[in-house]
Amino acid sequence: MSSLLRNPVAKRLLRPAAALVDQRVQRPVNRLRKELDSLRREVHELRGNEYAVSLLFDRTGRSGPRLPTPAQIDRLVAEVAQVSGADQAAARRNVTIAFRNVIALEALAVGRLAGSTQNVCGKLATVPLLSPPNAQVLEIGTLYGLFSATLLRMLHRAGIEPELTIVDPLAGSQLQPGGLEGLDPTGTPVRVDVVRANLALGGKAGERARVEVGFSGDPEVRSAVSDRQYGVIVVDGDHSARGVTEDLEWAEEIAAPGAVVVLDDYGDRKWAGVQQGADAYLAGATRFELIGRVSTSAFLRAR
């Protein structure tokens, strides 16, 4: 410290100036402190709100998180537009409405929808845009029935009053080659009463749906379900290559001309058998033509 500042007279004389400097420095510091406190409170509040929102959208009790990024939605919209031939605006509208339905119905559901948000919304958005030739819908492999319930709503929006048939063994848990799938994230049994509860979310068409309990290869099931030609067939049952091939063979017999066939989990590494079986089948003589992919679903059109 300089000797001038140690001098008591100089110190006394400089005191008012020092106090002024102190005040000038202190004021902005106080202001900053206040702003910081208010920001801290805001962040705390936002984190609290975000937590409540995440309870609606996170992965707990379902297939995965329902929190798509803008880039994921943009990509999905482009794929839906490409496969369906619809313009971007129509594809975006359907993807958005599909997403809202997924959130709403899954929140009320007994059980869950199977698959990633992009895969589920992709199927729901694309099928109505492909203008199926009639209102008959068949889903092979339903698990909790919730995808069908949501698809009924998406078709109804497009002016189609759908009629639904479902085939699934509804054996208590999801069956796949090699046995039962592990414990379901929902903890909900795969049973006909559960499927019925979810179909009710699909409105009148859901309540009227036919549920054939059994395997798609069972002769009794095939004979009961083959009483009509379907405008939409969703193949989502046995995911082995052989299971997919056999379902496509059957679908070939019961698909109306122009029918839309959705092959779920095509290209999904977890279910390699789906693409293997489908590619082998489509390489032979068939009236099904692969029209494209959206997320991890392939779309076929029957000639």
- Tell me which of 122, 132, 162, 169 binds ligand SAM, using CB under 6 A: 169
| Residue 277 binds ligand SAM, judged by CB under 6 A | no
Distance, CA of 239 to CA of 19 (rounded, Å)? 80
State the nearest-atom distance from the C-beta of 120 to ligand SAM, in Å: 7
Q: How many CA atoms lie within 13 A of 25 on its CB side?
A: 5
User: Per-residue x/- marks for ligand SAM, 175-194, CB under 6 A?
Assistant: x--------------x----
Question: Of 176, 76, 170, which is closest to residue 129 (Cα–Cα)?
Answer: 76
Pick between residue 231 and residue 273 the one whose CB is nearest to ligand SAM. 273
Q: Which amino acid is at 228?
A: R
**How many angstroms separate the first and last alpha carbons of the chain?**
96
Could you tell me the smallest distance in angstroms from the CB atom of residue 200 to ligand SAM? 16
Largest CA distance in the chain: 112
Task: Give the nearest distance from C-beta 33 to ligand SAM in angstroms.
Answer: 54
The amino acid occupying position 20 is L
Tell the residue number behind the tokens 């208590």, with chain if given.
Answer: 172
Stretch that binds ligand SAM, among 163-171, 193-201, 202-210, 280-288 (CB under 6 A): 163-171
* DSSP codes of every residue in 209-249: -EEEES-TT-HHHHHHHTTS-EEEEEE-S--SHHHHHHHHH
Interface with ligand SAM by CB under 6 A: which range of 27-35, 51-59, 211-219, 284-292?
A: 211-219
Q: How far is the CB of 244 from ligand SAM (least distance, A)?
A: 10
**Site pattern 235..274 for ligand SAM (x: CB under 6 A):** -xxx----x-------------------------------
Q: Does 143 bind ligand SAM (CB under 6 A)?
A: yes
In the complex, least distance from residue 40 CB atom to ligand SAM, rounded to whole angstroms: 43
Looking at the Cβ atoms of 130 and 234, the one nearer to ligand SAM is: 234
Residue number, 21 or 104, with CB nearest to ligand SAM: 104
Q: Is 215 in the site for ligand SAM (CB under 6 A)?
A: yes
Q: Tell whether residue 174 is a contact of ligand SAM (CB under 6 A).
A: yes
* Strand residues in the chain grouped as ranges (E): 136-140, 163-168, 175-176, 179-180, 210-213, 230-235, 255-264, 288-294, 297-302
Stretch that binds ligand SAM, among 136-144, 158-166, 222-230, 273-281 (CB under 6 A): 136-144
**Rounded CA gap, 202 and 87, in Å?**
27
d(CA 273, CA 279) in angstroms, rounded, equals 10
**Contact, 82 vs 295, CB < 8 A?**
no
Binding site for ligand SAM (CB under 6 A): 113-115, 140-143, 146-147, 167-169, 174-175, 190, 215-217, 236-238, 243
